[in-house]
A and B are shown apart, each in its own frame.
Chain A
C-alpha cells in the first residue's frame, strides 16, 4: 500500500496546474469561501472563525491573526487592509512563490480580511524587486473585477471592495509594519513609535490590518473548511500548515510546505536531501539573517519547528527561513555578512541601530579577516549587547542575534581568527 501523497493547502499549484488562471482556481473551489462569507456570515463571524482557528502571523512575529483583526477600532472609519509583500529577510522566498503561482488564494484571503473588518480598499505592498509579480497581480485583480468578484455591491450585497498594488523601491525596513505604512503614505520608510498600533492608527491614521501574504493565504481554507478542521493540522499552539524556506548548504534548497511542528531533521535531511557533499552540519538559522545561531546537535535537530519549541534550543521560528550551515562556514565570516546587510538596511531613524550597526560593521570586518584582537571581539560583543532593548523597531535588534549567539556558542571560531594580543 502506498502512502497517500501530501495534499498541498498553500502551494496548491504544485498539484493543480495553471492555478494562476481564475477559471482553474474557481473550478477548484476558489472564491466559494469569499462568496459564502459575504452572503451568509456577519463580518465579526469571519473574525471569530480566524480567531478560533488559532492562525498566527506567518511574517515572523507569530501574533494571533484573528485577535489582530478584532482589535480594529470600530469608532474610526474608513478601515484598511494592507498585505505585507515586502519579503526581504535573507533566507525568505515563500510569499514570492505564492503570489507567482497561487495568486488567487492570496487575493481571496485579502478579500476575506477586508470583509471581516469592512474595509473597502485593500493595498498590497510589494518590494520593488517584485515588479513582474505586481504587474501580474494587477492582471489578476482586473480578472476578478471582470468576474464580479471585486468591485461594487458584491454578490448582491451592499459590500464593495477594491484591491490595489503598491510597489516599494528596495528597503528591508519597509517589511516592518509601521515603516511600510509610512512608505505607502509617500514618506521615508521609517518605523513609527508604537503604540498606537495599526489596528487603531494605521494607514492615513485609520484602523488598519497589516498581514503577511502567507498568513492571508491561509484564510480561505479556514472559512471554507472551518476552524476545527484547521486545528487538526500542526500543533495545539501553532496550528496549520507552514511554508519552510530551506537554503544554505543543503542538497535541495527550496520551499517546503509542512505542518508546524515538523522537526529540523525531517526538513533538512528528508526533504532537503541533507548537507552538500555529505558534510557535517554545524549550525541552523531558523529565522533568516535575523536569527540567533542554533548549534545543530541532535537535540536541536529533533526539535519541532513551531513557535513554542524553537526557543528551547536558543532560537525563534520567525518566518521559518531555515538557513543551514555546515562545517565549512566560519562564524566570523557569517556575522560580517549579516552585519553588512543590517548596516546597509538600517533606516537611520534611531541612534542605537544607526550607530550600532556602523560600529559593528567595522569590528566584524576586522574579525572576519583576521585583523582583530581579542579586545575587538569583546568590544563587538559589548556594542551588540548595548543595542538590546533600545532600538525603535524589532529590525534593529535583529542585527545582534547572530553576533551575540555566534560569540557565545562558537567561540573557537573567533579564537582561531583573531591575532594574539601584542606582548607588552
Chain B
C-alpha cells in the first residue's frame, strides 16, 4: 500500500497544494506508484484515487494521457532516444537504429533479459547535444548527451551490472 510505504513523502507532496485541491498531487503520486516496478497497476490507481478523493478511472485517464506513465510492464530501464527534427538533423535516427541492432532488438523493444527497453521519443530539450537519450527508471530520469553507440552500449553494460548486483543483494536478504 502506497499510503503506508510512502506516508512521509505523500504528506510532503500534499502540503504543496491548498487543502481543498488535493487532486493536484495526482501526478506526483503516480510517479511514487511507479517507483518500484516502473508501471502503475489497477490497485495503485484505485488507491491514489482514494487518497485524493477522485475515481480510479480519473487516475487511469491521467496515466493514459502522459507519456512518462506506464500501465504495462516494460524494461526496468527505458532508454529513450530523441529522434525529433533537430536531433535527426544530427544523426539521431541512425544512432537509434545502430544501437537497437547492436542490442538485437527493434526500436520500442526490450532486451531478452527484460532489463532495457529502447524507444524513440519526442524532443527532450537537448537539441544541441545530439545524439542524446534519457534513461527513465522508477528512481527518476537522467540525461546522457553527445553520445556514440559505443558510449551507450557501455552504459547498458553498467546498468546490467548494477541490476545483477542488486539481485545478488536481494538474494542475501
CA distance A329 to B84 in the complex (A): 14
Contact indicator B27/A338 (Cβ below 8 Å): no
**CB distance A171 to B66 under 8 Å?**
yes
CA distance A248 to B68 in the complex (A): 26
CB–CB B127/A90 < 8 A: yes
User: Per-residue 0/1 for B33-73: is the Cβ within 8 Å of any A Cβ (1 yes, 0 no)?
Assistant: 00000000000000000001010000001100111110000
| Interchain CB contact (< 8 A) of B85 among A95, A96, A129, A323 | A323
CA distance A164 to B25 in the complex (A): 12
Nearest chain A CB to B119's CB is how many angstroms away?
12
Proximity string of chain A (320-338) to chain B, C-beta cutoff 8 Å, 1 when within and 0 when not? 0101010001000010011
> Which residues of the other chain, B, contact A246 by a CB distance below 8 angstroms?
128
Interface stretch, picked from B98-106, B135-143, B153-161, is B135-143
* Cα–Cα, bound, A160→B115 (Å): 47
The 8 Å CB contact of B23, one of A88, A135, A185, is A185
Is B86 close to A, CB under 8 A?
yes
Complex interface: chain A residues within 8 A of B52 (CB)? 186
| Interface presence of A30 (CB below 8 A) | no
The CB with the most chain A CB atoms within 10 A, among B54, B88, B142, is that of B88
A-B contact pairs, 10 of them (CB 8 A): A92-B125, A127-B125, A129-B68, A129-B141, A131-B142, A167-B31, A172-B122, A188-B62, A253-B129, A323-B127
Residues of the A chain whose Cβ atoms lie less than 8 Å from the Cβ of B142: 131-132
A347 to B67: give the CA distance in the assembly, Å.
12
A289→B62 CA distance, assembly (Å): 26
Neighbour of A186 across the interface among B27, B31, B89, B126, CB < 8 A: B27
Cβ-closest chain A residue relative to B17:
A164
Q: Determine whether the beta carbon of A131 is less than 8 Å from that of B23.
A: no
Tell me, in angstroms, the Cα distance from A144 to B88 when the chains sit together: 40
Bound together, the chains give a CA A188 to CA B24 distance in angstroms of 11
Q: Is A398 an interface residue (CB 8 A)?
A: no
Contacting residues of chain A (18-68) with chain B, CB-CB under 8 angstroms: none
Contact A131 B86 (CB under 8 A): no
Given A169-B68, A186-B25, A245-B128; A131-B89 close (CB under 8 Å): no
Contact residues of B between 120 and 170, Cβ < 8 Å to A: 121-129, 134, 140-143
CB nearest neighbor in A for B22: A186
* Interface assignment of A201: CB less than 8 Å from any CB of chain B: no
A89 touches B66 (CB 8 A): no
Question: Does B79 sit within 8 A of A, measured CB to CB?
Answer: no
Q: Is the CB of B125 within 8 A of A253?
A: no
Q: List 20 extra interface pairs beyond A167-B28, A170-B122, CB under 8 A.
A: A90-B122, A91-B123, A91-B127, A93-B128, A128-B66, A128-B141, A129-B124, A129-B125, A132-B140, A170-B66, A184-B24, A186-B52, A204-B21, A247-B86, A248-B85, A248-B86, A289-B84, A289-B123, A323-B85, A337-B88
The proximity string for B residues 10-22 relative to A, scoring 1 for CB distances below 8 Å and 0 otherwise, is 0000001010010
| B30 at the binding interface (Cβ < 8 Å) | yes
A187 to B22, CA, bound (A): 12
For B125, list chain A residues within 8 Å (CB): 87-88, 92-93, 95-96, 127, 129-130
- A186 and B16 contact, Cβ closer than 8 Å, known pairs A131-B140, A254-B128: no
A88 to B127, CA, bound (A): 11
Central interface residue in B23, B27, B30, B121, by most chain A CB within 10 Å = B27
On whether the beta carbons of A329 and B124 are closer than 8 Å, the reply is no
Contacts of B122 in A (CB 8 A): 88, 90, 170, 172, 341, 344-345
A118 on interface, CB distance cutoff 8 Å:
no
Q: Which of B18, B25, B66, B85 is close to A338, meaning CB atoms less than 8 Å apart?
A: B85
Q: Does B118 contact A (CB under 8 A)?
A: no
A93 touches B65 (CB 8 A): no
Chain B residues whose CB sits within 8 angstroms of the CB of A366 once the complex forms:
none
Over the window 292-327 of chain A, the binary record of Cβ atoms lying under 8 Å from chain B Cβ atoms (1 yes, 0 no) is 000000000000000000000000000001010100
Query: From residue B130, how far is it (CB to closest CB) to chain A in Å?
Result: 8
Contacts of B21 in A (CB 8 A): 185-186, 204
Mask: chain A, 100-141; 1 = CB below 8 Å from B; 0 = not: 000000000000000000000001000111111001000000
Q: Is B26 located at the chain interface by the 8 A CB criterion?
A: yes
- A90-B89 contact in complex given A129-B68, A132-B141, C-beta closer than 8 Å: no
How far, in whole Å, are A189 and B27 apart by their CA atoms in the complex? 11
The 3 closest A-B pairs by CB, nearest first: A186-B23, A169-B66, A170-B67
Indicate which residue in A93, A188, A325 contacts B89 across the interface (CB closer than 8 Å): A325
Q: How far is the CA of A247 from the CA of B31 in the complex (A)?
A: 32
A166 close to B (CB within 8 Å): yes
A171–B66 CA distance with the chains assembled, in angstroms = 6
* Chain A residues whose C-beta falls within 8 Å of the C-beta of B67 in the assembled complex: 169-171
Q: Which residues of A contact B24 (CB under 8 A)?
A: 166, 184-186
CA distance A325 to B90 in the complex (A): 11
Chain B residue at minimal CB-CB distance from A285? B85
Contact flags A148-192 to B (C-beta < 8 A → 1, else 0): 000000000000000010111111100000000001111111000
Q: Which residues of chain A (206-236) have a CB below 8 Å from chain B?
A: none
Min distance, Cβ B44 to any Cβ of chain A, angstroms: 15
* CB closest residue in chain B, given A90: B123
Q: Looking at the complex, which one of A93, A168, A337 makes contact with B27 (CB distance below 8 Å)? A: A168
**Nearest CB of B to A359, in Å:** 20
> Is A79 interfacial (CB 8 A cutoff)?
no
Nearest-neighbour CB distance to chain B for A337, whole angstroms, equals 5
